[in-house]
Amino acid sequence: MHGKTVLITGGTGGIGKATAIGLARLGARVGIVGRDAARAETAARDIRSASGNDAVDVFAADLSSQAEVRRLAAQVLATYPRLDVLVNNVGGFWAHRHVTADGLEHTFALNHLASFLLTNLLIERLEASAPARVVTVSSGAQSMGRIDFDDLQGERDYSGQRAYNQSKLANVMFTYELARRLEGTGVTANVLHPGVTRTDFGAEDQARYFAWMSGMSRPFMKSPARGAATPIHLASSPEVEGVSGRYFANRTAKKSNTLSYDRGAAARLWQASADLVGLPASER
């Protein structure tokens, strides 16, 4: 990865931070995005120390806000003349319905729309840097998801688990549609399940049963370093050069939710997402 530049969202802890360490060890210049600037600076120092690579940059942005996503994209474009890999890692779980500054349901906005918008804003730079890669972190929960086009924002009936499952399926469908749109550009797009990993996932707003189950199962979960193995592989390995539009777990291509292969639904989700983030027709 020497000479390569990588941007990782949600890079201040857990899988994102472990992915940053792994790619920095391989010689990449790594930019991490975190909501809190001080925490991001601390994470960057840790990454430099653990990897022996000083080329670690910090970007602070709350990606649940579309204005912040657009500001981040502009800053990245001004900082990086080339961008070889974008790792869409940011995400979370909220037991109760929260609304973002844009009036959108928080889970859908952060877990799906943030990656959708950021990728679209950076895609020309990725194409200019080809061969390049877009790697999106989903979850095994995608297998239980369905896209409720009549209630994407959970306004009528909200369930934290259902919203999370939907957002993770959206990650997969977005990736497959993106891969189709990027055919012939030299930019690949893949999505992954990192495995159940010991992180602070869901800590901001956990359901009681979720906290209890997490505590019971924590000793059996993967370490963040092991959880980062698949995103590192997809971001760097020659084995997946040119491979696009696939879902991976344990560094192996797997079958995803049957619903994820519905091209009509994927195109509909793309259009709905573009409307929600205000992408002009020329950028869709």
Whether the CB-CB separation of 235 and 19 falls below 8 Å is answered with: yes
**Chain-centre distance for alpha carbon 135:** 7
- What pLDDT is recorded for position 192? 98
Residue spans of the domains in the chain: they are 5-283
- Report, in angstroms and rounded to the nearest whole number, the Rg of the chain calculated over CA atoms: 17
Is 149's pLDDT higher than 80?
yes
Burial class (CB in 10 A: 0-12, 13-18, 19+), 51: buried
Per-residue pLDDT, 213: 46
Tokens standing for residue 248 = 């991976």
How distant, in Å, are the alpha carbons of 12, 102, 141, 216, 256 from that of 193? 19, 28, 9, 21, 10
pLDDT digits (tens, 9 = 90+) for 176-207: 999 999 999 999 999 999 987 544 554 455 55
CATH topology of domain 5-283: Rossmann fold (3.40.50)
**For residue 198, what are its two tokens?**
């010991």
Kindly give, in sequence order, each residue whose CB lies less than 8 Å from that of residue 147, ignoring residues fewer than 6 positions away: 166, 169, 170, 173, 259, 265, 269
* pLDDT over threshold 90, residue 223: no
pLDDT class of 224 with cuts at 50, 70, 90: confident
Give pTM, 2 decimals: 0.92
Residue 218 has pLDDT above 50, yes or no: no
In a 13 Å sphere around the CA of 14, the CA atoms on its Cβ side amount to 22
pLDDT exceeds 80 at position 251: yes
Residues that are catalytic: 164
